A and B are shown apart, each in its own frame.
Chain A
């Protein structure tokens, strides 16, 4: 076997992914690669309408196609509803359709071609309803109601809702209205960001199999086996004990696979046919029906004193929710929580509205609303710097949060490496050379900066660490590795905590039957939140190992230490030691019983201190643990075409402790390029309610020629007290400042502030030709 370089395996080593060999040999199994004996293939019949009442179905022709095993419509599904925040979504359209592409019927057949052919033969009788394609249309006085039952839906938070407004949230501190009078400079503007497609290269899919007792096993492309279980059981009204959820390799998520897609459909087909059923969406279906980043319209106003001291901010946001709630209330609430940025601004009010429309649902996407608001707020920090003639970096440093400061709303902030991020990015980019850079003829080049923060502490998680008979270790967390490398990072933590090499730790694949609960691989939370449980569970194993050793050596537990290579010994007495093999053998066969350490916890620090802030309709009562970052981008503009290219970028991110520096860089680099696409080229274009560009040909994500090679990842480590080895999250923050940093560079290059993404050649050229301010 060709050995990979695994000479260093513990915390701080860039250990190659545990599954790297499996992936480079093509052996890694994703959902589409799975086959079960007797398996059927499914296809969806999708709604051609944006909003219509379903009057009836005619499935006779589809049923008659040779090879078709089963055709199900909304009439064949239970009345349950799912939804992370508002239980508003059935497994399949029932009674009416709410967006183009919504599943209306499903077919299972002997092969996919037959299933698709039969699905096309299903006839549905519709009565068209008026359509609300945008938030503006949906809040108009005569707008059609998209969810007649909204008031009665179960909600997991105190939602303020009504009409087509799914949720309203407001958070404020200080006295904003009075504070404007204290400001010497005030900037105000309207910002707009488009829908962005996650575009995981793997489309979504699922495979369900039912056993003789009627119990279902479900594999799917997912970010949380436990969210899959909850969603399917809610929609199909099944007890959770009747559904086991597992995961194959996942071809990336970015939020797209966190909440349900086709899982309830295949489960119902498997229950009805008694056979395994697989459904893989094609790229167009994946684009049109899964979910995407919310379009935001933001009005933002920021004021400062002459010396640059920030005084007040007001931000209002309107989000297109799409047809179903999904993670949207969370995205709204979180984006508002991030709207003050990592600064001291004593007077701040943020409010927003989430509006149902007849478009595909929008949901979680890397950054969770933070990139959108940061585009607005960090643009305004630069505008203030410009108005005051201050250096944008100095203005950010001057106003940064200080030790002991609370987050907007009152949440605790422990570690904060922002100042170091800013200084390191400043130095590495040679910021002192000036913002306008030398450029070839016909081009302009300039630097732009943005700073940001992001959380990594949220909701519940756990870990089980077991010692096998020979002293090997099994780690089981239930956290799905979606490709970002969490299995490797958690294994490194476990290995370091027990002082064994990583190859002595087996990491179990998530399984709702056998793994401890894990809310999901989302919100940059696995390294911090799950990592804490891994360390705590490993520590409990270490305690038991020491207890055995203390009984054998007849010494105090406190006199014992773990030693590298899986041994326990008496401090200061090198030859008094036992291997984990000896200890675990004793535990298994003679005394105490097999060694198991478990830990579960739920993040419980309040987001809001009612003595400081007023909050209405906030969906996250407990959220926190902040990573910080500062990014500087060098952008080149073509004066003839207006095309903007990023030529070099310096991204300094405070991750507390890089458990696997190579993986941290991977997150920074990947997050940057995905953010660059959002800033420059990516836009889901809607023709009324309908997505007009549901293909990779018409939706432009960056290629290796579009992405700059010179992405400099700068890792800053401000250790988080309570974090595993001091670590905090890095999954999303690398994307958060990108649109703002690029927009600030573009503004510096062309002299015009552009407030609408993407910064297409046309918009940049218009800005360059018209000059001045976009407004």
Chain B
């Protein structure tokens, strides 16, 4: 890869890359350089939301974010939803809610949905169904019809302290 060196902070860890081209997206670096394949390439046009990660707590399309712009920012992917140091196999409450609520079908949109939900849940209040529907409206799911996803995220928001 031609380009500049950059260090990205992903899921709390500093990850250097020797050379990143100016046009290389964050999604490409996450998947191809770091092997973090949880974020998916569904459209590469910023529509489907399967590549969603958070940057400094805000959900963004990693397929539309240039990697070089992401230095010194906090990036969280689906692989980082469980805090470092948690026991092996631990799940974040929202992951558990989706898994138990039959809200996962093919799973391809799931990482993006989880990240959008995670960003929504940062507001501590319980979320209404309509707040969840609005908050997830940038993530396409073709399998579920959304109902069980919305239910699971709303349930996870109630469980928050």
Chain A residues with CB under 8 Å of chain B are: 1-2, 4-5, 14, 16-17, 19-30, 32-33, 198-203, 249-252, 254, 280, 282-283, 482-485, 662-663, 665-666, 668-674, 695-697, 701, 703-705, 707, 709, 711
Contacts of A482 in B (CB 8 A): 106
In the complex, are the beta carbons of A483 and B137 less than 8 A apart? no
Residue of B38, B41, B96 touching A26 (CB-CB under 8 A): B38
Chain B residues with CB under 8 Å of chain A are: 31, 36-45, 47-48, 50, 77-79, 81-82, 87-91, 95-96, 98-102, 104-111, 114, 129-130, 132-134, 136-150
Residue of A2, A282, A697, A707 touching B145 (CB-CB under 8 A): A707
In the complex, are the beta carbons of A17 and B99 less than 8 A apart? yes
Give me the 5 closest cross-chain CB pairs, A-B, nearest first. A26-B38, A483-B106, A1-B89, A251-B108, A23-B107
Residue of A28, A249, A665 touching B102 (CB-CB under 8 A): A665
In the complex, are the beta carbons of B148 and A25 less than 8 A apart? no
Q: Please report the C-alpha to C-alpha distance between residue A21 and residue B150 in the assembled complex, in whole angstroms.
A: 18
Q: Please report the C-alpha to C-alpha distance between residue A251 and residue B43 in the assembled complex, in whole angstroms.
A: 13
Q: Please report the C-alpha to C-alpha distance between residue A30 and residue B109 in the assembled complex, in whole angstroms.
A: 12
Q: Please report the C-alpha to C-alpha distance between residue A576 and residue B140 in the assembled complex, in whole angstroms.
A: 56
In the complex, are the beta carbons of A670 and B38 less than 8 A apart? no
Which residue of the partner chain A has the closest CB to B151? A709
Contacts of B139 in A (CB 8 A): 703-704
In the complex, are the beta carbons of B41 and A483 less than 8 A apart? no
Contacts of A199 in B (CB 8 A): 140, 142
Which residue of the partner chain B has the closest CB to A708? B147
Residue of B48, B102, B130, B137 touching A201 (CB-CB under 8 A): B48
Q: Please report the C-alpha to C-alpha distance between residue A666 and residue B98 in the assembled complex, in whole angstroms.
A: 13
Residue of A5, A283, A674, A705 touching B44 (CB-CB under 8 A): A283
Residue of A663, A668, A696 touching B43 (CB-CB under 8 A): A696
Contacts of A663 in B (CB 8 A): 102
Residue of A14, A19, A200, A280 touching B142 (CB-CB under 8 A): A200
Q: Please report the C-alpha to C-alpha distance between residue A709 and residue B145 in the assembled complex, in whole angstroms.
A: 9
Known: A24-B91, A200-B106. A283 touches B145 (CB 8 A): no
In the complex, are the beta carbons of A26 and B79 less than 8 A apart? yes
Contacts of B90 in A (CB 8 A): 1-2
Known: A33-B37, A705-B137. A201 touches B47 (CB 8 A): no
User: What would 12 more interface pairs be, CB under 8 Å, given A26-B111, A670-B142, A709-B146?
Assistant: A24-B99, A25-B38, A32-B40, A202-B40, A251-B108, A662-B102, A674-B145, A696-B45, A703-B146, A704-B132, A704-B146, A709-B130
Residue of B78, B81, B99, B143 touching A4 (CB-CB under 8 A): B99
Q: Please report the C-alpha to C-alpha distance between residue A369 and residue B136 in the assembled complex, in whole angstroms.
A: 32
Residue of B31, B100, B111, B134 touching A16 (CB-CB under 8 A): B100
Contacts of B82 in A (CB 8 A): 25
Known: A25-B78, A252-B143. A5 touches B100 (CB 8 A): yes
In the complex, are the beta carbons of A25 and B50 less than 8 A apart? no
Contacts of A282 in B (CB 8 A): 44
In the complex, what's the smallest C-beta–C-beta distance from B85 to chain A, in angstroms? 14
Contacts of B39 in A (CB 8 A): 26
Residue of A2, A21, A28, A483 touching B143 (CB-CB under 8 A): A483
Contacts of B129 in A (CB 8 A): 709
Contacts of B78 in A (CB 8 A): 24-26
Known: A24-B114, A701-B142. A202 touches B106 (CB 8 A): yes
Q: Please report the C-alpha to C-alpha distance between residue A201 and residue B144 in the assembled complex, in whole angstroms.
A: 12
Known: A23-B104, A26-B37. A709 touches B147 (CB 8 A): yes
In the complex, what's the smallest C-beta–C-beta distance from A157 to chain B, in angstroms? 31
Q: Please report the C-alpha to C-alpha distance between residue A701 and residue B140 in the assembled complex, in whole angstroms.
A: 8
Q: Please report the C-alpha to C-alpha distance between residue A483 and residue B108 in the assembled complex, in whole angstroms.
A: 9
Contacts of B36 in A (CB 8 A): 26
Which residue of the partner chain B has the closest CB to A698? B47
In the complex, what's the smallest C-beta–C-beta distance from B12 to chain A, in angstroms? 16
In the complex, are the beta carbons of A201 and B99 less than 8 A apart? no
Q: What number of A-B contacts does a CB cutoff of 8 Å give?
A: 192
In the complex, are the beta carbons of B149 and A484 less than 8 A apart? no
Which residue of the partner chain A has the closest CB to B98? A24
Contacts of B148 in A (CB 8 A): 662, 665-666, 669
Contacts of A28 in B (CB 8 A): 107
Contacts of A249 in B (CB 8 A): 106-107
Contacts of B89 in A (CB 8 A): 1-2, 21
Contacts of A5 in B (CB 8 A): 100
Contacts of B44 in A (CB 8 A): 282-283
Q: Please report the C-alpha to C-alpha distance between residue A703 and residue B99 in the assembled complex, in whole angstroms.
A: 21
In the complex, what's the smallest C-beta–C-beta distance from A599 to chain B, in angstroms? 28
In the complex, are the beta carbons of A695 and B47 less than 8 A apart? yes
Q: Please report the C-alpha to C-alpha distance between residue A396 and residue B102 in the assembled complex, in whole angstroms.
A: 33
In the complex, are the beta carbons of A711 and B37 less than 8 A apart? no
14 inter-chain pairs at a CB distance below 8 angstroms, sorted by A residue, are: A2-B96, A16-B99, A24-B104, A25-B38, A25-B79, A27-B79, A32-B40, A199-B142, A201-B40, A665-B102, A670-B144, A696-B43, A696-B140, A704-B139
In the complex, are the beta carbons of A202 and B108 less than 8 A apart? yes
Q: Please report the C-alpha to C-alpha distance between residue A697 and residue B42 in the assembled complex, in whole angstroms.
A: 13
In the complex, are the beta carbons of B145 and A670 less than 8 A apart? yes
Contacts of B42 in A (CB 8 A): 201-203, 283, 696
Contacts of A280 in B (CB 8 A): 41
Which of A26, A32, A483, A711 has most B Cβ within 10 Å? Answer: A26
In the complex, are the beta carbons of B105 and A670 less than 8 A apart? yes
Contacts of B130 in A (CB 8 A): 709
Q: Please report the C-alpha to C-alpha distance between residue A679 and residue B146 in the assembled complex, in whole angstroms.
A: 18
Q: Please report the C-alpha to C-alpha distance between residue A24 and residue B98 in the assembled complex, in whole angstroms.
A: 8
Residue of B40, B102, B142 touching A666 (CB-CB under 8 A): B102
In the complex, are the beta carbons of B142 and A252 less than 8 A apart? yes
Which residue of the partner chain B has the closest CB to A29? B37
Which of B77, B90, B101, B144 has most A Cβ within 10 Å? Answer: B144
In the complex, are the beta carbons of A483 and B38 less than 8 A apart? no
Which residue of the partner chain A has the closest CB to B141? A201
In the complex, are the beta carbons of A695 and B43 less than 8 A apart? yes
Contacts of B134 in A (CB 8 A): 704-705
Residue of A4, A201, A670 touching B96 (CB-CB under 8 A): A4
In the complex, are the beta carbons of B106 and A666 less than 8 A apart? no
Contacts of B147 in A (CB 8 A): 669, 707, 709, 711
Q: Please report the C-alpha to C-alpha distance between residue A711 and residue B108 in the assembled complex, in whole angstroms.
A: 23
In the complex, are the beta carbons of A666 and B107 less than 8 A apart? no
In the complex, what's the smallest C-beta–C-beta distance from B159 to chain A, in angstroms? 13
Contacts of B136 in A (CB 8 A): 704
In the complex, are the beta carbons of B142 and A696 less than 8 A apart? no
In the complex, are the beta carbons of A696 and B48 less than 8 A apart? yes
In the complex, are the beta carbons of B79 and A201 less than 8 A apart? no
Which residue of the partner chain B has the closest CB to A699? B47
In the complex, are the beta carbons of A672 and B145 less than 8 A apart? yes
Known: A1-B88, A28-B107, A696-B48. A666 touches B38 (CB 8 A): no
Which residue of the partner chain A has the closest CB to B1? A111
In the complex, are the beta carbons of B143 and A670 less than 8 A apart? yes
Contacts of A707 in B (CB 8 A): 145-147
Contacts of B108 in A (CB 8 A): 30, 200-202, 251-252, 483
Known: A201-B42, A201-B141, A665-B148. A21 touches B91 (CB 8 A): yes
Contacts of B87 in A (CB 8 A): 1
In the complex, what's the smallest C-beta–C-beta distance from A207 to chain B, in angstroms? 14
In the complex, what's the smallest C-beta–C-beta distance from A3 to chain B, in angstroms? 9
Contacts of B141 in A (CB 8 A): 201, 704
Contacts of A250 in B (CB 8 A): 106
In the complex, are the beta carbons of B43 and A283 less than 8 A apart? yes
In the complex, are the beta carbons of A666 and B144 less than 8 A apart? yes
Which of A33, A250, A482 has most B Cβ within 10 Å? Answer: A33
